[in-house]
Amino acid sequence: MKVVYLTRKAEFSASHYYHNPAFSLEENQRIFGKCNNPNGHGHNYTLEVTVKGEVDQRSGFVVDLKDLKETMNREVLDAMDHRFLNKEVPEFKTAIPTTENLAIAIWKRLEGKLKVARLHRVRVHETTDLFVDVYGD
């Protein structure tokens, strides 16, 4: 049986800033630059979630599309859209909300939540020029 990959996109907006309390003020400014401004700045993120599996011969689907959409909404968008990531999303109370850490947090939120297909890749675009991919082991 052929394995197929299906991707669903979603957009969300969120603000963040980069700061590591273990660094001095100067180190934070040197390493994070403008992104260290504690008042934050926003991004329009694009999330792509790819699932993989075999096509169900009866339905012709690899995944329950409604389930995928609802899971992404519930686990990611409801928690992150129009939020200040540092202050409102628990993962970023300690981790710096870079696109790298955001992609990992989203993977962990989605992993094991889908009823049929398996999670294959989480891709988060911070800008049109920059994106991060996370795959399972």
Residues recognised as catalytic: 35, 82, 126
Identify whether the C-beta of residue 124 lies closer than 8 Å to the C-beta of residue 132. yes
Task: Note the Cα 17 to chain centre separation in Å.
Answer: 16
What is the DSSP code (8-state) at residue 49? E
Name the one residue in this structure whose structure tokens are 């008042």: 39
- Give the sheet arrangement for strand 130-135, strand by strand: 83-84, 3-16, 41-54, 118-127, 130-135
Distance between CA atoms of residues 34 and 92, nearest Å: 19
> Facing residues of 52 across strands?
5, 118
